[in-house]
Amino acid sequence: MMIKLVVFYEKPFCAANAKQKQILRQSGCTLIERNLLEHGLDADTLRSFMEGKKVADWFNPAAPAIKNGEIFPEILDEGSAMELLMSNPILIRRPLMVIGTEKLCGFDADRVSEVLERYVEPMPKINCLEKGCLQMRAE
């Protein structure tokens, strides 16, 4: 049996994240859910989710400070952007996902499918004798 394990950083009670998790579960994924607002990631780790993306794409366009015009992601450099994301995680584009060795920012269904195809991991083998679940019968 193969398992598809996804670490899924979300904003709790976000309707879009709930739909994304449902899609992942329906495609046979096992999710490890993490609260993105209390992520505990350092700046380098958070940055690793953003590889290949423009700075503006690191941000959640629906975040209040962006919608209200208080923050303009398209004019930020990487350093300022990362400071804002670390100090105010609601700004981070979500979800952040870890699938195998890949880290993804945002839910691009095609990209998620492609990564899942490559990173299906075998179910860990459990030796029943080691776990003590088989009784050896005395003859």
Instruction: Give catalytic residues, as residue numbers.
Output: 14
DSSP assignment letter at 41:
-
Q: Is the dihedral of CA 33, 35, 40, 41 positive or negative?
A: positive
For residue 9, list its beta bridge partners.
34, 96
CA dist 127 → 1, 124, 131, 134 (Å)? 15, 10, 6, 10
> SS3 for 28?
coil
Distances (CA, A) of 31 to 23, 98, 121, 131: 11, 10, 13, 25
| 3-state DSSP assignment of residue 138 | coil
DSSP-assigned letter for residue 75: G
